[in-house]
Structure 1
Amino acid sequence: MWTTAKFCAQLPKIELHAHLNGSLSRDTLKRLHIMKEGNSADDIDIPDITKMTNLEECFKIFGLAHSLTSSPEALRVATSDVVREFAEDGVVHLELRTTPRAVESIMSHEQYVEAVLEEATREGAAQGIGVKVLLSVDRSQGEAAAQRVLTLALAARRRWPEALVGIDLSGNPRSGCARALLPLLRDARARGLRVAAHCAEVENEAEAVALMEAGVADRLGHCTFAAPGAGAGAEAAWAALRATRLPVEACLSSNVRCGTVPSYASHHFGALRRHNHPVALCTDDKGVFATTLSNEYYLAAEHFSLSTEELWKLSFESVEYTFASEEEKQQIRNTLLEWKKANLAQFELH
């Protein structure tokens, strides 16, 4: 039989929570640096992820990626590389999220969106991987900026109806007010967009419960402080989460590296599984945290004693939580079923 690591690498996987700029590999960052500065790749200073100890340090790393994706050409390279690397990791369905940015005299918000969607669609077809895009609302930028993102998303959906599927609520969880954006998220859903929302990344019971109970999200990201024993107010958030049955995008390496959970073994992924709550393993920022989705599956297997059958089921069940069409979902399920049939010898019997 294969090792657990090989099984995880070969398994067709579903990635539902991947930030474009946070997913840039070191090789891509070096290539973008040369494109922008014309210098040797040795001149670029890439932060050491092993020295990160809190959420604030994690957010600082995005500054480097943002500085290097400041033109449509750079964005196309970044998007192409990210899609290809996910495909090489065995991902068969990818949902990328990114916050549209404008750079004076270089790139408009519309050009940003166009570059990402055109390249995601092109490279996805080239790699044989389904790629969807969500435009991110940065909670720290306020309501006017959020409305601009919604307007961009609606316009983009008219041009790329199969690729642009929704919006994402994200940004520094200690900045801005998520509750002030609930009407906008409700409007987005009413207009047919899907909504993924970062939730309970830090201790904020009132906000987490309000976001869960508002009925504005289709999936929730992290939910670190909406789990048993996660701190003051966590029990109320946990009860609200279980009542909604909203799928959680669980990002093991991200949460451990940022210090929002103390260890892999204590990650709330375990509680979610014990209570049969919908959950999907995700990378969050594979470049920032030097991980892959295969590695996240391996970590889950090692720390939560998952069998090969359970790993396959985890991927299979994630299909239902995607923002793909019903026809696309069935195609992905068929891929997983055919893969299992072809590799039955790798499954542990119970």
Structure 2
Amino acid sequence: MGNKKNKKKQQPQEESQADRSRRQQREAKRNAEEHEFLDNEIAAEQMKRADAATFPLNVPKDLAFFKKYPKIELHAHLTGSLSPKTISEIVEHDEEKAKNIVSRYRLTEPIDMDKVFHRFKAVEEILDNPDSLRIAVIRTIREFSEDGCLYLELRTTPKKTATMDYEKYIRTVCRAIIEARMLHPHMKIFLIISLNRNMTFDIATEILHYTGVVQQESNVIVGMDLGGDPKLSAFQLLDVLYIARRFHGLGITAHIAEKRTIPNDTTDLLMMKPDRVGHGTFLHTNDHLAQVFGRSNSLLEVCISSNVYTKSYNHPRRSHFAFWKKRGVPIAICTDDKGIFPNASLSEEYYKAADEFNLSLEDLKKINLDALKYSFANKYIATDLSEIRRKIEMHTLE
């Protein structure tokens, strides 16, 4: 047997007190650096949230921001949305005539709602032919586009004139919208046909008939609206709205509770569960109606400047906006009649809402996404809205 050297296992050297102290110091420094990094990350996130919570900034910087902010418009009346520039173009730049029309059309101070309805007549007299109607539609859409509107539902009440019947009126507006779509390909533009509360059942059904015919021929008409004098009941039109929804697949929106004295058809209209409610200014003042509306899953179209200039309330902060937002009701910010009411562009309406009710960027995004969700083009899958949804998510027009 050969001699074998016994190899002894090497025992680890015991760490000296000095080495242990240095190691602990290195670990403490590394932990401190990691904690500092995490603290900085948390602080940065808190700063972002604080910035959003204190939004908006100060005027006029804010208004410039809102003009570049993506916006949705669900409640805009064509005959209430004409700018002085559009009116001038319609009358072929006859400045004296244009000035006279604007003076009878555009408000400078709040007046009773009953008197506001007379303002529409100033432009209806120049929208009595297809050429003028076409200009009104195309120029109004261009102004919404320039104001950062990505999705627009324009609404109008068909009228009979010396050169147009209801069908020709509807066709003229639809053709103008199709033309505007080519001029503004980044926008989605659709039409809502409005019924007036003072209409007879026969007139309303005639308009619905032509609406259905043109609807089949073009992808433009997506909804039907009930509007007009808010003091009048519209029982005679309830069946027409039902048929529009049931057999024509149209979205339904209705002007409801615009005045403190609420007509007796209001409960019936709410029980129809319209997709959206226009104004709804005084619904919250009636417990029964507030409960019915709160359970209806309808979106509320809020028009802040309109409510101020029709003396529904005397300041934007008195708006019913906060009441319904607090209760989780989906809301859209709308202009109503930007041509009649001063400082009521869509950007200005968004700014007023953000300023008065301290809306954050997340609030604005939710309002926009709710508006897009309740748009009639989305409800009836009339177009792809994914690109607009992306821009809303990113708070950008690009």
Do Structure 1 and Structure 2 share a fold, with TM-score over 0.5?
yes
Change in CA separation of 1:23 and 1:40 when aligned onto 2, cut-off 3 Å: closer
The unaligned stretches of length 5 or more in structure 1 are 343-350
Match of 2:357 in 1: 304
* 2:127 paired residue among 30, 53, 69: 69
CA contact (8 A) 2:278 2:301 kept: yes
Cα RMSD (Å): 2.0
Say which of 127, 139, 142 aligns to 1:81.
139
1:102 aligned partner: 160
Residue 200 (structure 1) aligned to one of 257, 261, 276: 257
**Higher mean displacement: 327-336 or 182-191:** 327-336
2:179 aligned residue: 122
Identify the residue that residue 114 of structure 2 maps to in structure 1.
56
1:67 aligned partner, one-letter code? E
| Offset, 1:331 | 3.0
* Structure 2 counterpart of 1:322, from 375, 378, 384: 375
Task: Pick from 232, 237, 241 the counterpart of residue 181 of structure 1.
Answer: 237
Figure out how many residues of one structure are paired with residues of the other and give that number.
332
* 1:19 aligned onto 2:77: yes
Contact kept? 1:20, 1:96, Cα under 8 Å:
yes
Task: Report whether the alignment pairs 1:112 with 2:165.
Answer: no
SS in 1 for 2:376: coil
Q: Distance in 2 between matches of 1:179 and 1:209?
A: 11
Residues 174 and 191, structure 2, Cα contact 8 Å, conserved in 1: yes
Corresponding residue number in structure 2 for 1:271: 323
Asked if structure 1 preserves the Cα contact closer than 8 Å seen for 2:69 and 2:397, the reply is no
Does residue 151 of the first structure (1) align with residue 209 of the second (2)? Answer: yes
Q: Kindly state the Cα deviation for residue 25 of structure 1 after the two structures are TM-superposed.
A: 0.6
Aligned to 2:40: none
Structure 1 residues 205 and 71, CA gap change in structure 2 (3 angstroms): closer
Structure-1 separation of matches of 2:90 and 2:103: 12
2:391–2:397: 8 Å Cα contact kept in structure 1? no
In structure 1, what is the Cα distance between the partners aligned to 2:254 and 2:397? Answer: 35
Shift of 1:33: 2.8
- With over 3 angstroms needed to count, the CA separation of the structure-2 counterparts of 1:163 and 1:205, relative to structure 1, is same
Residue 269 of structure 2: which of 211, 214, 218 is its match?
Answer: 211
Alignment correspondent of 2:390? 334
Under a length normalisation based on structure 1, what TM-score does the superposition of the two structures give? 0.89
Segments of structure 2 that go 5 or more residues without pairing to the other structure are 1-50, 52-56
- 1:20-66 Cα distance to aligned partner (Å, 9 max, x none): 0101111112222337x796544545235123321012111100111
Q: Which residue pairs with 2:346 in the alignment?
A: 293
Report the secondary structure of 2:325's partner residue: helix
In structure 2, the CA distance between the partners of 1:132 and 1:46, relative to structure 1 (3 Å rule), is same
Q: Indicate how the Cα distance of structure 1 residues 174 and 33 shifts in structure 2: closer, same or farther if over 3 A, else same.
A: farther
Q: How far has the Cα of 1:204 moved from its partner?
A: 1.4
Which stretch of structure 1 is more off in the superposition, 330-339 or 94-103?
330-339
Which of residues 214, 222, 230 is equivalent to 1:165?
Answer: 222
Highest Rg: 1 or 2? Answer: 2
Is residue 195–residue 225 contact of structure 2 (8 Å, CA) maintained in 1?
yes
2:307 counterpart of 1:250 = no
CA contact (8 A) 2:197 2:229 kept: yes
Question: Contact 1:17/1:97 (CA < 8 Å) preserved in 2?
Answer: yes
Between 163-172 and 67-76, the greater mean CA deviation after superposition: 163-172
